[in-house]
């Protein structure tokens, strides 16, 4: 093994590779602070408002998710194996960040029932994602990589529970912005995430022979 190959397998290289992600999620967290403060004030002014409370906790979950991502990027273990080629990395990157484009579209005025639906999806998706991410722990990765094999907790019911919950968050976000553009972006993210699972599973199957039996008994997204 050359010195460069050894360096690429080490923790320092992994931290350098993760630095743009740390900066991005840190920036996103800072951007959410004013909205979180505004939602907190709304809860204090209307403590009995279900919608105000749901909005606050949905945004709080998003902030917690970002901070947990930053922490896990710093402490995660070095990858055992990486998916080769450009396409897997492109799917990982675009699948993670393409949905940000929805936030740059024009917000739409929703009726109260639709507001409740959108916020409920964001709340369930955000809180659930934080819980699953905490269970995934030091195995977390944006790119298709094998760090360690996690098959317990929510991974007993779906091979990719984090994506299932992110789909809920994506749907809740999409409802709140101009159509059909938001739906088109959401569809693009969904396709990329499904492709991402294909690449992730290839590298996991190569790194962990026992993944094949796990794959045979647990569905990709719990229902399919």
pLDDT at 166: 95
Flag whether 168 is in a domain.
yes
Flag whether 64 is in a domain.
yes
Give the residue-averaged pLDDT of 143-152. 92
Q: What does pTM read for this prediction?
A: 0.91
pLDDT at 192: 95
- The C-alpha atoms of residue 114 and residue 137 are separated, in whole angstroms, by 34
pLDDT tens-digit map of 184-221: 999 999 999 999 999 999 999 999 999 999 999 999 99
% of the chain residues with pLDDT over 90: 81
pLDDT tens-digit map of 29-64: 999 999 999 999 999 999 999 999 999 999 999 999
When divided into structural domains, the chain yields a total of 1
Output the average pLDDT for the chain.
Answer: 92
Flag whether 30 is in a domain.
yes
- The C-alpha atoms of residue 6 and residue 13 are separated, in whole angstroms, by 10
pLDDT tens-digit map of 110-140: 999 999 999 999 999 999 999 999 999 999 9
Flag whether 177 is in a domain.
yes
pLDDT at 223: 80
Flag whether 222 is in a domain.
no
pLDDT tens-digit map of 60-78: 999 999 999 999 999 998 8
Flag whether 223 is in a domain.
no
The whole domain housing 7 covers: 3-217
Flag whether 224 is in a domain.
no
pLDDT at 3: 63
- The C-alpha atoms of residue 85 and residue 192 are separated, in whole angstroms, by 16
- The C-alpha atoms of residue 113 and residue 37 are separated, in whole angstroms, by 24
Q: Are 141 and 95 in contact (CB under 8 A)?
A: no
Domain at 119, CATH number: 1.20.120.1630
């Amino acid at each position: 093994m050359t010195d460069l190959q050894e360096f690429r397998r080490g923790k320092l290289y992994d931290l350098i590779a993760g630095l743009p992600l740390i900066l991005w999620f840190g920036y996103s967290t800072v951007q959410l602070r004013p909205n979180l403060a505004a939602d907190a004030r709304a809860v204090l002014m209307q403590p009995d408002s279900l919608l105000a409370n749901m909005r606050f906790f949905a945004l709080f979950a998003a902030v917690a998710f970002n901070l947990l991502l930053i922490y896990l990027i710093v402490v995660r273990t070095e990858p055992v194996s990486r998916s080769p080629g450009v396409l897997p990395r492109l799917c990982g990157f675009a699948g993670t960040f393409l949905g940000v484009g929805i936030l740059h579209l024009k917000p739409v005025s929703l009726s109260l029932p639709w507001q409740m639906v959108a916020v409920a999806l964001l709340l369930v998706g955000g809180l659930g994602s934080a819980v699953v991410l905490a269970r995934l722990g030091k195995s977390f990765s944006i790119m298709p990589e094998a760090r360690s094999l996690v098959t317990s907790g929510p991974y007993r019911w779906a091979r990719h529970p984090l994506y299932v919950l992110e789909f809920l968050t994506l749907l809740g976000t999409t409802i709140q912005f101009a159509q059909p553009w938001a739906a088109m972006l959401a569809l693009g993210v969904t396709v990329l995430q499904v492709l991402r699972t294909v690449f992730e599973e290839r590298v996991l199957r190569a790194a962990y022979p026992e993944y094949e039996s796990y794959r045979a008994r647990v569905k990709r997204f719990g229902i399919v």
